[in-house]
Structure 1
């Protein structure tokens, strides 16, 4: 191991690959992913530029890994999502929606500008694992509530999840297109939950 690499890893036992991901994640949280260069990441990580290519196929792979780590970090800070069968379905859907809105608001600066870098977004999507993303957990929650009989047995939970996710995406698009992120009012959250439950809620 070179002296430079030894210095980089002195503070812990993480691998150089992990160190590069953590470094890129920190830079993304501070300044977003758009415009990040290999040279800037390498300099911040304390390694030569070419070292990145010993551990990643290209810059896009590194950024995708760092974005995944960043989103996971943001979600951990938002707390736990409700468990199926506990509380009311309406309150739980509200919690899922508020979680999704908060997550999208938080990660928007990191993703802003990446529309011009589709390879990064493609790599980000490829690295998702089933059940890992918030949308997957929302859909799993709805399916579990349906299995428990707290939703109609023929409830179109996929459509309900798409509605909730779509609202969260709409807030991001509004911010990108208009330059202003408009928070969703509590009444609007309640109205959306009510509309969804009118379609999939258990009768009676």
Structure 2
């Protein structure tokens, strides 16, 4: 017998699978992932607990899809990333870092709640398929190097790792610190200026 349809879907076009992902995504955005249970998601979605297993192998698969949807929602509200060869490398990297900081500030709380759930993180990694902000940043730097706007001996992956580290350090410090920071967080512009001294010729 087919699972009963949630009341929220009776007059809509979404599938029950999409409804469950949307519900879990909303709960993650509102409360994070810590303590999020199948029962809580099912109740919020208006379905019986066991219905989830008609559409997902396990809780980990559902949460991984909800995390990806959460990131897509957050990124959809941010400014588009600049294309290689447009504006200046400095202006473009400034835009990339500002985008990355806003993205990480919105999504890192959800990932912190998954520190003891490596299976969810593994499923999420399988779903992303190289389409995360870091991958876009590395690809952008690779393209600028091909265009000759970054020196041939530069290492785009290392530069990307430095900028990702800035995002992690800045956001995690805000989340975990209960006292004022001893030193001021560097500005986006100062970070980019420092990174560029090692990858382009002025």
Q: TM-score, normalised by structure 2?
A: 0.90
Distance apart, 1:29 and its partner CA: 1.0
Match of 1:56 in 2: 56
Q: 1:193 to 1:185 in 2, by over 3 A?
A: farther
Distance apart, 1:16 and its partner CA: 1.1
Distance apart, 1:121 and its partner CA: 1.7
Distance 2:163 2:69 in 1: 24
Alignment of 1:52-131 (within 5 A): 52-130=52-130
Distance 1:63 1:179 in 2: 29
Q: 1:114 to 1:8 in 2, by over 3 A?
A: same
Match of 1:19 in 2: 19
Q: Judge which range, 165-174 or 22-31, deviates more.
A: 165-174
Q: TM-score, normalised by structure 1?
A: 0.89
Distance apart, 1:2 and its partner CA: 6.0
Q: Judge which range, 121-130 or 67-76, deviates more.
A: 121-130
Match of 1:42 in 2: 42
Alignment of 1:162-177 (within 5 A): 162-177=161-176
Match of 1:32 in 2: 32
- Residues 114-147 of structure 1: per-residue CA shift (max 9 Å, x gap): 21222222221221122x2111111111111111
Distance 1:147 1:186 in 2: 32
- Partner SS, residue 153 of structure 2: coil
Distance apart, 1:176 and its partner CA: 4.2
Match of 2:5 in 1: 5
Distance 1:175 1:53 in 2: 37
Distance 2:178 2:108 in 1: 11
Q: 1:142 to 1:181 in 2, by over 3 A?
A: farther
Q: CA-atom RMSD, angstroms?
A: 2.3
Distance 1:179 1:9 in 2: 43
Distance 2:106 2:135 in 1: 19
Contact 1:105 1:181 in 2 (8 A): no
